[in-house]
Amino acid sequence: MSPVDVATRLDRAGIPVARGVLVDDVSGIAAAYEAVGATLVVVKAAGLLHKTESGGVAFGLSSAEAATEAARRMLEQVGPHGLPFMVQEQASGVEMLVGLRRNPELGAAVVVGLGGIQAEIHKDVARRLVPVTPDDVLAMLRELRSWPLLDGYRGSRPLDVEALCEVIVKVALLAEEDPSIGELDLNPVMVRPANEGCLVVDARIVTMPVPERTERPRHQLERMLRPKHIAVVGVSDDEKKVGARLFRYLVDHDFPGRLSPVHPSGGETQGYRRYQSLADIEGTPDLVCVAVPARAVREVAEQAVAIGAGGVLVHSSDFAEVGETGRELQEELTKVLSAGAVPLVGPNSMGVVAPRFGLAASISGGLEMTELTAGRVALLTSSGALGSCLATRLMGTNVGISYWIHVGNEGDLVLADFLEWLADDEDTHAIGLLVEDIKDGPRFVEAGRRLARAGKPMFAYNMVRSERGREAALSHTGAMVGAIELREEVIRAAGMVSVPSLRVLEDALLLTSAYALPRGQRLVAITFSGGASTIIADEAERFGIDLPELSEATAAAVRTHVPSYAAVRNPMDTSFQMLSNPESFRKAITAILAGNEFDAALVQFTTNADPFAERLAESVVEVLRSARVPIYVSRFGGTQLAPRALKVYNDAGIPVLDAPDRAAQAIAAVMMARRALDAASRSR
């Protein structure tokens, strides 16, 4: 958008811009200087994106002659592509960046942070998905490391935060009103002292074609996710082939409904009649699993539509993931099924697993395990291999899963569709997500908030975190709000906790399965190591966990049960000696929790061995039975030293983490989940 058009748009939106005049060549500079009417002016090469590093800006010009001479030198240095010139009043204040970035699938986000050349150096920014309220914007500003500069630091005057908030809100409104704005960059915005306002000094708007908005169909998923009749297409006699293996998993895991294998050869397989086509099957399958070459999938889809199938799950690959030819095949497949109102999972999906219903419609090698463990955690994953790893690990620790759904290429059904369905699923109490991409951000947010209002915590690991060659060079906002940052904002807006690693995702699900969420952020940590206490304190500060000190009464009660040299504070190092004194340990932790001063406790063991480790474990289990808060257990030491202790925890359904940093990060995630659910409850 041209500088004139940008200025017009900002003026209409009520966003204050420093007075300025555009001129096409050096001869117009003097008249422009007089028209601006400021004591000091700046001359800029408005045709350049990054002006400072190119020599395209001159400050502190106090006469028409000085401005003209600066423009002449600038033209010699940067050449005609720097035209037109902008002659502008020189504004003072603290430089801030206000920006906007839109993604057609995810939505638009506003960003604020330090401005000028500091924007990309410090990357001190906060973001929110549009729409935003004034309260949202103030919260953004308070997140900045540079907030003290705005609030008044070491005697400096507070800046006009209210005026800056108004600018950010108006930028967000622009995004809502005009979907053609793909990127907006106000940098710098000069923020003056309180009650003196702020001024935009430089601005850039990039427009984009407005995609035709088509409402995604909302399918009924009950038949395909709780099927009574499954057809598997592509069940040959070769056990190494995908279709045969998939059918064997369904049989081996005792699917209770009807199974109909399909292959042109007909005959029988594993005692089941094998149909030559879907059309030959009596009745209508609720779920059709497809494991045939990509070129043959469309014909199967047409047959599924003709017989009124409840849904189609395509395991076959060689679709959009391999390039343009595959993308065309995928689009054709989606059109066929959409026209028949038959929902599609995939293509390129590893499948769907629901142990409670004997549903093992997956090609994952994890289904070689003899038993599938039902639980209260649902997994939605963009990655099939990693989803399989996480699902089998949860089932291997007896946490179990309610569902594991690998969405594959999301030709039709996307993450949001399954989130909506899980909101009403009584067997699902928590959700874990492995996210590579988010399609239809607004529906994703809507579905997540619905789950949050239903009291179901959600944890998401946002993969694909680097963007080689992204458009960071285009503008400061482009550098600060790429696809990963927009996905993070969509996840946050949906009421989910974005976790920093696969390990934290798994641990958060373990803790959520074993305990109710903590009521708040107050944690007490009991350790047997000063080093472990230090690590927990560091991680608590990093992730926003509150470690309040013990009250005088509680500290006095605890001191009667620990050695005189123990550090009775939070985190508390009870000393290595307490590892061999289970009864005193039980009394100490009981005294800590008696005052109802904390929302959760972490017991961090270091190297301990049976039989004392077993007796300590029994003490923890005993205290936990009557405790009003979760007691999390972490043990960093060789498992071979305490097999009996670990069995005590396992029999009691208590997950055991290991390193203190790992434990603190997992606890931080479940505490953030509590905050997210509380926020959703308040927004009803």
Edge to edge, the sheet with strand 258-262 lists 258-262, 229-233, 287-290, 312-314, 344-345
What stretches of 54-197 adopt beta strand conformation (E)? 57-61, 85-89, 94-103, 107-114, 125-129, 181-191
Q: What is the CATH number of the domain that holds 203?
A: 3.30.470.20
pLDDT averaged over consecutive 10-residue blocks of the chain (684 residues)?
Answer: 89 94 94 94 89 86 96 93 93 94 91 84 88 95 94 91 97 95 94 96 92 77 97 95 96 97 96 96 97 97 98 96 94 96 97 97 93 96 95 92 97 97 97 94 95 97 66 40 81 96 97 96 95 96 96 95 91 86 92 95 94 95 95 95 96 95 97 94 71
What pTM, to 2 d.p., does this model score?
A: 0.90
Among residues 89, 116, 144, the one where a domain terminates is 89
| Distance from C-alpha of 586 to C-alpha of 609, rounded to nearest angstrom | 17
Q: For 48-84, what is each residue's pLDDT tens digit?
A: 877 877 889 999 999 999 999 999 999 999 999 899 9
- What angle (nearest 5°) sits at the alpha carbon of residue 295, between those of residues 292 and 296? 50
Domain count, the chain: 5
DSSP one-letter string for 403-422: EEEE-TT-SS--HHHHHHHH
Are residues 475 and 354 part of one domain? yes
Which of the listed residues 307, 336, 365 is the one where a domain comes to its end? Answer: 336
How is residue 256 written in tokens?
A: 């209770």
Say if residue 331 is in the same domain as residue 303.
yes
Three-state DSSP class for residue 470: coil
What are 384-439's pLDDT values in tens digits?
999 999 999 999 988 999 999 999 999 999 999 999 999 999 999 999 999 998 99
Q: Centre a 10 Å sphere on the Cβ of residue 611 and count the other Cβ atoms it contains.
A: 12
**Residue 344 included in any domain:** no
Residue 12 in any domain: the answer is: no
**Same domain? 419 vs 458:** yes
Alpha-carbon distance of 538 to 664, in angstroms, equals: 9
Verify that 659 and 560 share a domain, yes or no.
yes
Answer yes or no: are the C-beta atoms of 524 and 570 closer than 8 Å.
yes
Q: Tell me: do 396 and 538 sit in the same domain.
A: no
Condensed to tens digits (0 to 9), the pLDDT of residues 581-640 reads 889 999 999 999 998 999 999 999 998 999 999 999 999 999 999 999 999 999 999 999
Distance (Å, whole) CA 578 – CA 262: 65
My answer on whether 503 and 378 are in the same domain is yes
Domain around 278: 222-336
Same domain for 196 and 104: yes
- Amino acid identity for residue 388 in this structure: S
Task: Give me the torsion for CA of 497, 498, 499, 502, rounded to 10°.
Answer: 110
Q: Are residues 54 and 117 in the same domain?
A: no
Are 508 and 525 in the same domain? no
Q: Where does a domain end: 59, 89, 119?
A: 89
Pair 432, 384 in one domain: yes
Q: Are residues 509 and 520 in the same domain?
A: no
Q: So what's the pLDDT on residue 27?
A: 95
Assign residue 292 the CATH number of its domain.
3.40.50.720
Alpha carbon of residue 495 to chain centroid: 10
Task: Give me the DSSP letters along 305-317.
Answer: HHHT-S-EEE---
Q: Do 450 and 597 belong to one domain?
A: no
Is 11 within the bounds of a domain? Answer: no
**Unique residue bearing structure tokens 């505490």:** 671
| 215 within some domain | no
Q: Which amino acid, residue 260?
A: S
618's tokens: 């029994």
A 10 A CB-CB count for 302 gives 16
Per-residue confidence (pLDDT) for residue 375, from 0 to 100: 97
- Residues forming beta bridges with residue 432, ordered by sequence position: 379, 459
Looking at this protein, which amino acid is placed at residue 440? D
